[in-house]
């Protein structure tokens, strides 16, 4: 092993488990119906009890909230709906007392159109901030090209003051920043260093694969200068402190991921890749066009990422985030086997190599919702609904897509208890609470040793106890088996085996397998093992052995 790799091996985040908070839906302290920083502070005990090491906080900076904070108008201030800079400093300090680090969400691909930079930029072509954004000359009504924005419509918007179009990959209120401009890059580094000084533990980088766009060539992700920009960014900021950094990269392949998460630490700690997430989206189709989950493909994808990044990069492990439907509703069973399947999905993921992320409510087995369209708040969902109605899609088909894929599935308020509004707020919640909170809530699970919460808590504890979780080499078992997802992790000293029935049919182990009693059961999702060689619906087991004992 090279010297740098050894240094990287010791990184704290290799044994860490990170919890994502979507602030507006987590906990409301002042009754305005929107979660806030004081709300998070009041739940630090809960998070410590779960055992997590860090919180990834979705954006809390000042923002007109066109995309719930992913449109930032001041990177160095907190949005009043969440609190103040003082609250943020308090959160960082109090979290530290609970041995929890705060990871901020950096939205560097675009700013809000209400950011001072953009307000200036659109005044005149000569304005010093003009070149902070991406402009193209043109005639009103004839955009430079037909590139589409992620939230509907074209990616170009006309500004009459300058008689130019600006480029936006997301909403019109999210103009793309021009990373080609060294002055802009310098401002970004200064801002990040200011947050590092405040004591944050790391950063999640929003759509970071899209910063080096070249709209004239219709390039959005993986632009030619992407890794050059990332190396500079990392050198000027992250490398000065012991931080964790995770880039959101929808376009990441294993080859790209090895660049991003190179153990030499020249770019980021890791990336969120989405190959395992996009499997129920057909080639060339949109995420709203539903298709079934190809199970063997899911196994192949995980196996490949585990193998390819072994000692050459680092994986992030996740099923959920604020943009995705709830995993138990998607690939588990959110009715009869909700508890079993939620635990199975947790055990399956947490045994792998990488840093696991838990999205708020995942540790309770929170589920998707099916609301009337008026209840949805997400800009993407609302635009999609209009767009498809206009294209003539039947309403019930559109709603089926929304039930399955809307980002609001993840954004309903955290279910704390069985009281009013699930204990999320004293006021009127900004988005409707999932009506199943009477049954699914934190209070009923915290003290229950058989709860989904307890399962997550145990998985976090085990990861810290056995080095094989961070270090073991991955080997898929029974690759072609159409029901079982099973793998082994191996180091010189230890072995870990994870065996999961991914479906609701009872199933036997593949016939060639003989019972081996040298394994110790670390965790499973049924009270006891009934028949060792038979897996009940969604049954999941994690075994361990010390090679010396055999
Ligand atoms: C990322 C965020 C998403 C946001 C988008 C634009 O994908 O996770 O919530 O809408 O970037 O910032
Ligand atoms: Ca509030």
Question: Which H or E element spans position 246?
Answer: strand 244-248
For the cut 80, the answer to whether the pLDDT of residue 517 exceeds it is yes
CA-nearest residue, atom 4 of ligand 1: 70
> Above pLDDT 70, what percent of the chain?
98
* Site of tokens 């041995």: 99
Under DSSP, the state recorded for 14 is G
How many other β-carbons are positioned within 10 Å of the β-carbon of residue 75?
23
pLDDT value, residue 516: 81
Catalytic residue among 105, 248, 380, 408: 248
Whether pTM exceeds 0.95: yes
Say how many Å lie between the CA of residue 34 and the centre of ligand 2.
Answer: 4
Beta strands in 113-170 (DSSP E): 135-137, 156-159, 164-167
Overall average pLDDT of the 40-55 stretch: 98
Beta strand 61-62 pairing with 74-78: antiparallel
506-522 core/surface letters (b: 16 or more CB in 10 A; e: else)? ebebeeeeeeeeebeeb
Ligand nearest to the CA of 80: 2
Q: Which residues contact 419 (CB under 8 A, 6 or more apart)?
A: none
Say how many Å lie between the CA of residue 70 and the centre of ligand 2.
Answer: 18
Ligand nearest to the CA of 109: 1
| Tens digit of each residue's pLDDT (9 = 90 or more) over 178-234 | 999 999 999 999 999 999 999 999 999 999 999 999 999 999 999 999 999 999 999
Contact 169, 210 (CB under 8 A): yes
pLDDT value, residue 231: 98
Ligand nearest to the CA of 28: 2
Task: Give the tokens for residue 49.
Answer: 């009890």
Q: Quick one: pLDDT band at residue 513, thresholds 50, 70, 90?
A: low
For the cut 60, the answer to whether the pLDDT of residue 20 exceeds it is yes
* Atom in ligand 1 nearest the alpha carbon of residue 110: 12
pLDDT value, residue 547: 86
Residues with CB under 6 A from ligand 1: 67, 70, 107, 170, 206-207, 248, 322-323
Task: Give the tokens for residue 388.
Answer: 């498809």
Burial class (CB in 10 A: 0-12, 13-18, 19+), 182: exposed
The alpha carbon torsion through 225, 231, 233, 237 (nearest 10 deg) reads: 180
Catalytic annotation present for 206: yes
pLDDT value, residue 514: 74
* Atom in ligand 1 nearest the alpha carbon of residue 109: 12
H-assigned helices in 420-466:
442-446, 452-465
Say how many Å lie between the CA of residue 471 and the centre of ligand 2.
Answer: 42
| CA-wise closest residue to 35 among 21, 47, 43, 25 | 25
Contact 404, 431 (CB under 8 A): no
Distance CA 271, CA 322 (A): 16
Across the chain, which distance is largest between two alpha carbons, in Å? 77
Q: Quick one: pLDDT band at residue 3, thresholds 50, 70, 90?
A: very low
């Amino acid at each position: 092993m090279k010297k740098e790799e050894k240094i990287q091996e010791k990184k704290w985040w290799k044994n860490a488990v990170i919890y994502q908070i979507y602030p507006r839906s987590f906990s409301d302290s002042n009754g305005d119906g929107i979660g806030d920083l004081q709300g998070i502070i009041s739940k630090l005990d809960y998070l410590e009890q779960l055992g997590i090491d860090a919180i990834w906080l979705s954006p809390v900076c000042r923002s007109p909230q066109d995309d719930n904070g992913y449109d930032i108008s001041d990177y160095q201030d907190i949005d009043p709906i969440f609190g103040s800079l003082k609250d943020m400093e308090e959160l960082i300090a109090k979290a530290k007392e609970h041995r929890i680090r705060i990871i901020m969400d950096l939205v560097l691909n675009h700013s809000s159109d209400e950011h001072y930079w953009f307000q200036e930029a659109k005044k005149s072509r000569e304005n010093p901030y003009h070149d902070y954004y991406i402009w193209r000359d043109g005639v009103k009504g004839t955009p430079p090209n037909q590139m589409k924005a992620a939230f509907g419509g074209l990616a170009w918007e006309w500004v009459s003051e300058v008689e130019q179009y600006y480029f936006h990959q997301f909403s019109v209120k999210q103009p793309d920043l021009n990373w080609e401009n060294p002055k802009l890059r310098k401002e970004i580094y200064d801002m990040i260093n200011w947050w590092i000084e405040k004591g944050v533990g790391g950063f999640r980088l929003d759509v970071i694969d899209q910063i080096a766009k070249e709209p004239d060539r219709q390039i959005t992700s993986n632009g030619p200068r992407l890794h050059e920009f990332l190396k500079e960014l990392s050198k000027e900021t992250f490398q000065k402190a012991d931080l964790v950094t995770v880039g959101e990269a929808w376009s990441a392949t294993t080859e790209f991921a090895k660049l991003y998460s190179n153990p030499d630490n020249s770019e980021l700690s890791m990336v969120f890749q989405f190959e395992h997430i996009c499997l129920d989206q057909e080639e060339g189709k949109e995420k709203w066009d539903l298709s079934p989950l190809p199970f063997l493909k899911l196994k192949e994808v995980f196996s490949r990422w585990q193998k390819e990044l072994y000692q050459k990069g680092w994986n992030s492990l996740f099923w959920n985030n604020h943009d995705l439907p709830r995993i138990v509703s998607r690939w588990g069973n959110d009715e009869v086997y909700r508890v079993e399947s939620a635990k199975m999905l947790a055990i399956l993921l947490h045994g792998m190599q990488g840093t696991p992320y838990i999205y708020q409510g995942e540790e309770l087995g929170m589920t998707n919702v099916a609301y009337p369209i008026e209840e949805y708040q997400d800009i993407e969902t609302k635009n999609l609904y209009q767009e498809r109605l206009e294209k003539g899609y039947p309403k019930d088909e559109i709603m089926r897509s929304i039930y399955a894929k809307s980002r609001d599935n993840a954004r309903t308020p955290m279910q704390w208890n069985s009281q009013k509004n699930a204990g999320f707020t004293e006021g009127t919640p900004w988005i409707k609470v999932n009506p199943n909170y009477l049954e699914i809530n934190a209070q009923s699970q915290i003290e229950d040793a058989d709860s989904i919460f307890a399962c997550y808590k145990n998985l976090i504890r085990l990861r810290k106890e056995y080095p094989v979780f961070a270090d073991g080499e991955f080997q898929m078992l029974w690759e072609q088996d159409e029901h079982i997802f099973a793998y082994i992790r191996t180091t010189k000293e230890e072995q870990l085996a994870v065996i999961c029935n991914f479906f609701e049919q009872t199933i036997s182990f593949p016939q060639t397998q003989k019972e081996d009693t040298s394994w110790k059961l670390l965790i499973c999702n049924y009270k006891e093992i009934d028949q060792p060689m038979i897996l009940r619906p969604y049954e999941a087991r994690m075994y361990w052995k010390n090679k010396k004992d055999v």
